[in-house]
Amino acid sequence: MPPASDDYRAHGLEFAPDFVIGSATASYQIEGAAREDGRGPSIWDTFSHTPGKVWNGDTGDVADDHYHRWESDLDLMADLGLQSYRFSIAWPRIQPGGKGAINPAGVAFYSRLVDGLLERGIRPIATLYHWDLPQELEDAGGWPVRDTAYRFAEYAARTAEALGDRVHTWTTLNEPWCSAYLGYGSGAHAPGRTDGAAALAAVHHLNLAHGLAVQEIRRAATNDPDVSVTLNFHVIRGDDDTSPEAKRRIDALANRAFTNPMLLGQYPADLLEDTAGVTDWAFVRDGDLAEINQPLDVLGVNYYSTVTVKMWDGVSPRSNNDGHKDMGGSPWPGSRDVEFLKQAGPYTAMGWNIAPDGLEELLLSLKEQFPEQPLLITENGAAFDDQVTETDAGNRVHDAERVDYLVRHFTAAHRAMQQGVDLRGYQVWSLMDNFEWGYGYSKRFGIVRVDYDTQERILKDSALWLRELIATRRLPASPLGER
């Protein structure tokens, strides 16, 4: 087998059959049917319908129409040979107002989906919260309010009672960093608030919601599922004299604010100090950390790119390249003087730098911090400006850059495993082009192209590449070659 080259363009690397390779989506990004079968409004319905919040005024009203096309979408997954499918459950379909009795039609939709996956031999990985908070709960205060954590635990219990005989892996939250800091700090995500203290209260209540939900899932499920959470880790770089301080601050806010309470049962002392001017953390009550600190069968890892930081000198124009849309507020409460520097390319269509070495570094660092914790890549992928090519055999999308991105990141994962990382699988983001939050439909992450006018699905070259990888268990070469 050839050694992986320095730029991570390897081929022929072998992945064991029990290394679960699949793809991922999320409810609001693909389902559509926003007002059907008793679904209540979520904060993303409200946000996307508010002028100026989402590119082009796009909304998830129709999206990929997956709510109606789920069966053919499952056939497509089977055609690709996916071993697993990570989807999310829309809370407002299960409990339209975020509490109380379940909506049978909502549960039935996900029940059919799970059955359809199992019939096709695809492992269901269900995320309970991928950002579509019922609007009624936001009206009552949202994640900055403690009661939302209890409402989430109730929703988790009802959902696990309904599907907990069949779902293989449960993920409580997807990227609570985004829910807290983009939703309540920067304003780039729903509900669009810009209040640092609210963002930190949201961090804690999301952590609490996670811990309570883990316990409810373990109580209600009958098939001994894997239970997890998915975090979007920040891999932080910088070689300025002030970078160590900036790195420590961002690591505390972005990473350790979640991993430490969840996996170690404590908040980092430096996080509390850094944010003392923003909040006194009085919302953390006795006993909360014990509720939050639950063992996890796997830890979900989302990785796309790195950030490079230093402390702002207070004089030069401030550089703000943290990879997120600037909507006025800051996603970094207490650390607004950290500068995010523009990084070396190449870049994806999101402007995010392509850095497969960052994934290897992240996996190794998680192994060092939490040696006994199995890991699962729950998202990795890239947006590019795909072009459709007409051929005699039909339309094709030759997305060589996306294939190359995947080759390089699978190589990074393989390298980490060779160094002893207990990595259980890899879910490519995303199965289909979809609603990319504040960027609407302008950014395409799918390995399957979606024509939003006709809802036609076209397998991109990256989908064919993934099918070959899963079938042969060997990494197919990058179309961009090895350097």
For the bound state, the minimum distance from the C-beta of residue 256 to ligand IFM, rounded and expressed in Å, comes to 20
Picking from 407, 409, 402, the residue whose alpha carbon sits closest to that of residue 358 is 409
Q: State the Cα–Cα distance between residues 70 and 272, nearest whole angstrom.
A: 45
Of the residues 132, 322, 379, 399, which one makes contact with ligand IFM according to CB under 6 A: 379
Active-site annotation holds for 273: no
What residues from 33 to 62 belong to the interface with ligand IFM (CB under 6 A)? none
* 302 counts as binding ligand IFM under rule CB under 6 A: yes
The tokens of 82 are what? Answer: 């996916």
Binding of ligand IFM at residue 258 (CB under 6 A)?
no
Which residue is catalytic, options 175, 291, 339, 401?
A: 175
**Nearer to ligand IFM (CB atom), residue 126 or residue 197:** 126
Q: How far is the CB of 121 from ligand IFM (least distance, A)?
A: 26
Give 309 or 428: the residue with its C-beta nearer to ligand IFM.
428
The sign of the dihedral angle between the CA atoms of 266, 273, 256, 194 is positive
268 or 381: whose CB is closer to ligand IFM? 381
Using alpha carbons only, how large is the chain's radius of gyration in Å?
21
Question: Binders of ligand IFM among 169-198, rule CB under 6 A?
Answer: 175
Q: Is the CB of 274 or the CB of 386 nearer to ligand IFM?
A: 386
Among positions 102-121, residues that touch ligand IFM (CB under 6 A) are none
For residue 94, give the nearest of 75, 113, 76 by alpha carbon. 113
Token reading at 343: 């990084």
Q: How far apart are the C-alpha atoms of 473 and 470, rounded to whole Å? A: 5
Looking at the Cβ atoms of 230 and 259, the one nearer to ligand IFM is 230
429 binds ligand IFM (CB under 6 A): yes
Q: How far is the CB of 24 from ligand IFM (least distance, A)?
A: 8
Give 29 or 243: the residue with its C-beta nearer to ligand IFM. 29
- With binding defined as CB under 6 A, does residue 322 bind ligand IFM? no
Number of residues this chain uses to bind ligand IFM (CB under 6 A): 8
**Of residues 31, 216, 339, 379, which has the active-site annotation?**
379
Q: Considering the complex, what minimum distance in angstroms separates the CB of residue 436 from ligand IFM?
A: 5
The question of whether 379 is a catalytic residue gets the answer yes
Residue 145 binds to ligand IFM (criterion: CB under 6 A): no
Distance from the first to the final alpha carbon of the chain: 16
Min CB(152)–ligand IFM separation in Å: 18
Is there binding between residue 26 and ligand IFM (CB under 6 A)? yes
Please state the closest distance from residue 408 (CB atom) to ligand IFM, in A.
Answer: 17
* Contact residues: ligand IFM, CB under 6 A: 26, 29, 175, 302, 379, 429, 436, 445
* Active site (catalytic) residues: 175, 379
